[in-house]
Structure 1
Amino acid sequence: MRECECVNAIKLTGLRKSFGTVEAVAGVDLEIADGEFFSMLGPSGSGKTTVLRMIAGFELPTAGTVELGGRDVTRLAPFERDVNTVFQDYALFPHLSVQENVEYGLKVRKVPRKERRERAEQALASVRLTDFGSRRPAAMSGGQRQRVALARALVNRPKVLLLDEPLGALDLKLREQMQVELKAIQREVGITFVFVTHDQDEALTMSDRVAVFDGGKIVQVGSPEEVYERPASAFVAGFVGTSNVFTGEVAKALFDRAGTLSVRPEKITFDGDAGAPGVVAEVIYAGAVTRYVVDLEAGARVVVVEQNRHGSPGTGLRGQRVRLSWHDEHVIEIPERKEPSDGA
């Protein structure tokens, strides 16, 4: 039986981008599988959007190559690449109907009227806007306009859809709804989605895999569970969710071993009889959960998160002496960061 010789949807090799003396992307090697929902996650200035723009063709690399479906497209113009991009600013034409907005790209390509109408209707159906074709964008909600922009990108049937923080302008509840809808749409249409975000909840919710960026480099790639439960560095542990990181004498006192160690806040519990002693410095009610800030006698300040299963706990614990405990399997050993060589 022959092994499958599968071609990646995207392959980046030695990708670098400099703006004057600033190196925005400092050597990225990455392979994204066909049909994968892949997220690029990182803070502002980490290089993720620049990488997306180089995949799209809006920026040319200073060095390295971009391959789409096994084809080197590094020096090709955006319209010569089988990709479409959805931006945070949807850029819909206000004087055109939803149907006309979705058809516009096909019209420019001189697709016959009957075919472009049918394809636009199919694209609107895929984003659950079948009955909205005659509306103008101004008469729609932010979430609906976002889906129109998505339909306009999908109607061209690209191999890869690039999404540059498309949910950033939406309010929290709508953003959470659209996270679920985007993942469902991606499964239905079956094409590769590359999603750029600085919101770790978005990346964890939607992605098959996540690449975490810092300083123009990828510092970890893995499934959401791998990145959250087994962070490769202190930066990843702190950026992807909240983490309590312990080093030096504090780590030795709490865990009886050296190194950089971490425990997620939701893995820590209050224990009346045993555990590390400390004083509750702050109690923060956040609806579904309450966050406690505890100053340990060992010299560390930690965050503990508990679900509010029995209503609000109030602020009664503030100033109280407590003991905290955790299971050994929830202690994460964070590898020491190694500086890459010049060729990395």
Structure 2
Amino acid sequence: MTSSQQAVTAPAIRLSGLRKSFGHTEAVAGVDLEIPDGEFFSMLGPSGSGKTTVLRLIAGFESPSAGTVHLGGTDVTRLAPFERDVTTVFQDYALFPHLTVRQNIEYGLRVRRVPRAERADRAGQALHQVRLDGYQDRRPSELSGGQRQRVALARALVVRPKVLLLDEPLGALDLKLREQMQVELRQIQRSVGITFVLVTHDQGEALALSDRIAVFHRGRIEQVASPAEVYERPATAFVASFVGTSNLLGEQESRRLLGVGGTHSIRPERILVAPAGTTPGAGQHAVEGTVTERGYLGHSTRLLVDLDGGGRLTVLQPQDAAPAEPGSRITLLWQRTHDYQVSPSD
């Protein structure tokens, strides 16, 4: 295979045996990952899981203790950040307060000595991409949080990188604006067609935006899959509990309720509530219990149900379902295909 063919077929990002230690703490404990060109990829996990360190290793802000980083088929492990064809958008946006919006966007082009006329043209295109036409002469202090976030995006995109890294860029926004910016971020990614890599601890954000998700835990990747597969078919108990809400059944509970051993996950919305004594249908499990708590969530109602043989299940009922009040006896039903075996997590 020629070098030109390798460039075409190589993934946008390839991480091989990546490790990073800070003193005696191993922040990244052996990560292997490939991200194809043009994908919206999310690295999801709690604080301290290693996801941000991996982003910094890709960007070149940190050097790995072991392993390699390839971008577009080229080994960049020992290259400085400015030598890598990536840009990064941070949570605090890092805009220059004394510069106008246009000057902030043009900054990277000026550093690269792009001619003035081309700078102006590309900055105008970037402003249009993020729907900030007419804002070019404002200062960052005159913008809302969402507008500053879009300026930071435009500044990153105007240099036309192969990969855009996003370090929790929506974390400082309120819920409604964050949801709005999630939609806009996905639309921007589709329009420019480059690889986006998002670091986030927000499961809903990762599920809504991503083509694929890597779930991080203790410096390792527990699962890489599409949002639907991560949610519906979690690989480990940690993924099942971290991504959304899940009922986790240990070995003894699985044997008592399901008739098999192992660790199993059941999503609360997959469980149906029926009158006490209801006979299960074909392919269903059934268990009797008593409602102990009922909570209104707006789109649904959450029930906590103490089971007759011990243990507790969480159930999510749609709002139009018949109410089950605390103290009432009920039968819980779910399809056998909806209890999914997962690997125990450390």
Q: Do the two structures share a fold, i.e. TM-score over 0.5?
A: yes
Tell me the equivalent position of 2:29.
26
Structure 1 position 12, deviation (Å): 0.3
- State the Cα deviation string for residues 284-337 of structure 1 (Å, max 9, x = none): 111111111111113221111122247x95xx6112221111011111011356
Tell me the equivalent position of 1:330.
338
Tell me the equivalent position of 2:201.
198
- State the Cα deviation string for residues 234-280 of structure 1 (Å, max 9, x = none): 01100011100112222122111111111100101101124311111
Tell me the equivalent position of 2:327.
319
8 Å contact kept, 1:283–1:317: yes
- State the Cα deviation string for residues 33-80 of structure 1 (Å, max 9, x = none): 000000000010000000000000000000000000000000110000
Residue type of the partner of 1:301? R
SS state of the match for residue 292, structure 1?
strand
Q: Distance in 2 between matches of 1:309 and 1:129?
A: 42
Tell me the equivalent position of 1:100.
103
SS state of the match for residue 231, structure 1?
coil
**Pair 1:305 & 2:316 matched:** yes
Tell me the equivalent position of 1:264.
267
Q: Distance in 1 between matches of 2:253 and 2:194?
A: 48
Tell me the equivalent position of 1:218.
221
Q: Distance in 2 between matches of 1:91 and 1:177?
A: 21
**Pair 1:287 & 2:287 matched:** no
Residue type of the partner of 1:281? T
Residue type of the partner of 1:279? T
Residue type of the partner of 2:338? H
**Pair 1:116 & 2:119 matched:** yes
Tell me the equivalent position of 1:237.
240
8 Å contact kept, 1:254–1:298: no
Residue type of the partner of 1:10? I
Tell me the equivalent position of 2:288.
277
Tell me the equivalent position of 2:70.
67
Q: Distance in 1 between matches of 2:40 and 2:225?
A: 12
Q: Distance in 2 between matches of 1:146 and 1:306?
A: 37
- State the Cα deviation string for residues 123-166 of structure 1 (Å, max 9, x = none): 11111111211222112111111111000000010000000000
Q: Distance in 2 between matches of 1:317 and 1:70?
A: 60
Equivalent residue pairs, number: 333
The TM-score, its normalising length taken from structure 2, stands at 0.93
Across the aligned residues of Structure 1 and Structure 2, the Cα RMSD in angstroms comes to 1.6
8 Å contact kept, 1:246–1:300: no
8 Å contact kept, 1:86–1:150: yes
8 Å contact kept, 1:98–1:137: yes
8 Å contact kept, 1:250–1:298: no
- 1:248 maps to which of 222, 238, 251: 251
- State the Cα deviation string for residues 155-178 of structure 1 (Å, max 9, x = none): 010000000000000111111111
Larger deviation, residues 272-281 vs 65-74: 272-281
Residue type of the partner of 1:276? V
**Pair 1:50 & 2:53 matched:** yes
Q: Distance in 1 between matches of 2:309 and 2:158?
A: 59
Residue type of the partner of 1:28? V
Larger deviation, residues 155-164 vs 93-102: 93-102
The TM-score, its normalising length taken from structure 1, stands at 0.93
Structure 1 position 88, deviation (Å): 0.4
Q: Distance in 2 between matches of 1:307 and 1:50?
A: 40
Structure 1 position 110, deviation (Å): 1.9
Residue type of the partner of 1:300? G
**Pair 1:140 & 2:143 matched:** yes
Larger deviation, residues 67-76 vs 253-262: 253-262
Tell me the equivalent position of 1:342.
none
8 Å contact kept, 1:293–1:303: yes
Q: Distance in 1 between matches of 2:181 and 2:319?
A: 26
SS state of the match for residue 130, structure 1?
coil
Q: Distance in 1 between matches of 2:154 and 2:199?
A: 18
Structure 1 position 230, deviation (Å): 0.7
Q: Which runs of 5+ in 2 are unaligned?
A: 280-285
Tell me the equivalent position of 2:282.
none
8 Å contact kept, 1:233–1:336: yes
Residue type of the partner of 1:146? Q
Residue type of the partner of 1:44? S
